[in-house]
Amino acid sequence: MKKLLMAALISAAAAASAADHGLLDAARGQQEPLLATLKDLVLMESGSSDTAGVTRVADYSEKRLKALGAAVERRDNILTGRFTGKGRKRIMLIAHMDTVYQPGILASQPYRVDGNRVYGPGIADDKSGVALILHTVEMLHARGWRDYAQLTVIFNPDEEIGSRVSGEWIATQGAQHDFVFSCEPNGAQLEGILMSASGIATANMTVQGRASHAGVSAKTGRNALVELSHQIMQTKDIEVPGAQLNWTRANAGLVTNQIPASATALGDVRLSAADGLTRLQQALRDKVATPLVPDTVTTIDIEPGRPPFIASEAARAWAAKAQAIYGEIDRKLALYPGTGGGTDAGYAGRSGKAIVLEAFGLAGDGVHAKDEYITIDSVAPRLYLLSRMMQEAGASQ
Ligand SMILES: [Zn+2]
């Protein structure tokens, strides 16, 4: 009895770690086509503010999504491709089409292959994500996999400038899905799943005082600049869990012979918790309630930008599943604790409804730098990983 149980346990463990060889072969077969797509994408420059360039990449990607059978909606160069399947789950894949580079970058940083590396501006961040999604969907559909109620693909054009146009759309769509797999690039040395990324916001402090002649009637004025200085000193070291504030810009006064009636300061806010912004806002309002200059009024507003991304408990369990899947093909996947850079996974997970995981793009390095590259030998493993995650998501309860 005991022996039988042991045998059962061993075969269960063996089954859990066995690779899907058919899928792995298919992934290997997609390697060259994916690299060809990636080359096409890199040869179209698409810096975030290069509208013509981003439009070219959007045209190309739209055509490719349609060729895969997606119903495509396009607004402000945000592409949303939808596939209807036969399953129960709603799965969303996201990647961005824009890069940080200025027009003409290909002249100094051309597309080139060197051994296991392929170089080019934006090749990892995030053209690898776009190519990976296109070829993962192609591969799974070719294998007859349709185990989803809906599969949605979003390619956005403004990630590198904060997703100011696409962010709300990604948040709204994210709330309507069970799973979101975001395909930002991965590390070349150590591949991993990202557990958190900071959010960003802008703090705005305004002081209203009263103007008067600086020489004749200074005492009747209410100096907004002096009050602003006081409020900055009062708030500069403010500490709340999940939020960090640094005052970075200020403005006051019009002319030197007038007591300034108003003053403003702007601050950079970084968020590491979903409720960090609300807590910071409350803490700031409590502080500024004590003025130095009587009769002045100080107001604080915080304008939210990209929300922080924090992997939920459920997402952590799925990260462990991703590690196990990578183990099937003898690859290791780390759990990255966090990054100072933002991600659209923050928007996708804002509602808290979907299970959101980040960093399914190809392995590479040098992003936002001079020698950005991806590694060729990561292509088939990354195709395999994303495909298996989608299959597991589709089959989940
Ligand atoms: Zn990116």
pLDDT of residue 341: 76
Contact 163, 128 (CB under 8 A): no
Q: How confident is the model at residue 274 (pLDDT cuts 50, 70, 90)?
A: confident
Q: From CA 397, how far away is CA 391, in angstroms rounded?
A: 12
Bridge pairing between strands 179-182 and 355-358: parallel
Q: From CA 183, how far away is CA 348, in angstroms rounded?
A: 12
CA distances from 304 to 99, 205, 260, 275 (A): 23, 14, 29, 12
Measure the CA dihedral 290/294/296/301, to 10°: 0
Ligand 1 centre distance from Cα of residue 327 (Å):
26
DSSP letter for 378, please: G
Q: What is the per-residue pLDDT across 213-261, written as a single tens digit (0 to 9) for each?
A: 999 999 999 999 999 999 999 999 999 999 999 999 999 999 999 999 9
DSSP strands (E only) in 85-237: 90-96, 112-114, 117-119, 150-156, 179-182, 186-187, 192-194, 196-197, 199-208, 212-213
Nearest to 43, CA basis, from 30, 57, 23: 57
Amino acid found at 93? L
pLDDT reading at 171 higher than 90: yes
Q: What is the per-residue pLDDT across 147-170, written as a single tens digit (0 to 9) for each?
A: 999 999 999 999 999 999 999 999
Q: How confident is the model at residue 6 (pLDDT cuts 50, 70, 90)?
A: very low
Q: What is the per-residue pLDDT across 303-345, written as a single tens digit (0 to 9) for each?
A: 999 999 999 999 999 999 999 999 999 999 999 998 767 899 9
From 159, 328, 358, 372, the catalytic residue: 159
Ligand 1 centre distance from Cα of residue 122 (Å):
8
For 185, the token pair is: 């690039």
Q: How confident is the model at residue 12 (pLDDT cuts 50, 70, 90)?
A: very low
Q: How confident is the model at residue 9 (pLDDT cuts 50, 70, 90)?
A: very low
Ligand 1 centre distance from Cα of residue 125 (Å):
5
Report the mean per-residue pLDDT for the chain.
Answer: 94
- Domains of the chain, start order: 2-197+308-395 (3.40.630.10), 199-304 (3.30.70.360)
From 50, 98, 227, 358, the catalytic residue: 98
Q: Is 98 a catalytic residue?
A: yes
Ligand 1 centre distance from Cα of residue 64 (Å):
21
Ligand 1 centre distance from Cα of residue 184 (Å):
5
Q: From CA 30, how far away is CA 26, in angstroms rounded?
A: 6
Mean pLDDT, to the nearest integer, of 374-397? Answer: 98
Q: How confident is the model at residue 7 (pLDDT cuts 50, 70, 90)?
A: very low
pLDDT of residue 258: 97
Q: How confident is the model at residue 369 (pLDDT cuts 50, 70, 90)?
A: confident
Secondary structure (DSSP) of 60-72: HHHHHHHHTT-EE
pLDDT of residue 342: 84
Q: From CA 175, how far away is CA 173, in angstroms rounded?
A: 5
Bridge pairing between strands 258-259 and 212-213: antiparallel
pLDDT reading at 180 higher than 50: yes
Mean pLDDT, to the nearest integer, of 74-97? Answer: 98
pLDDT of residue 286: 96
- Number of H helices and E strands in the chain, helices first, is 11, 21
Mean pLDDT, to the nearest integer, of 5-16? Answer: 46
For 54, the token pair is: 């981003």
Ligand 1 centre distance from Cα of residue 344 (Å):
9
Q: How confident is the model at residue 181 (pLDDT cuts 50, 70, 90)?
A: very high
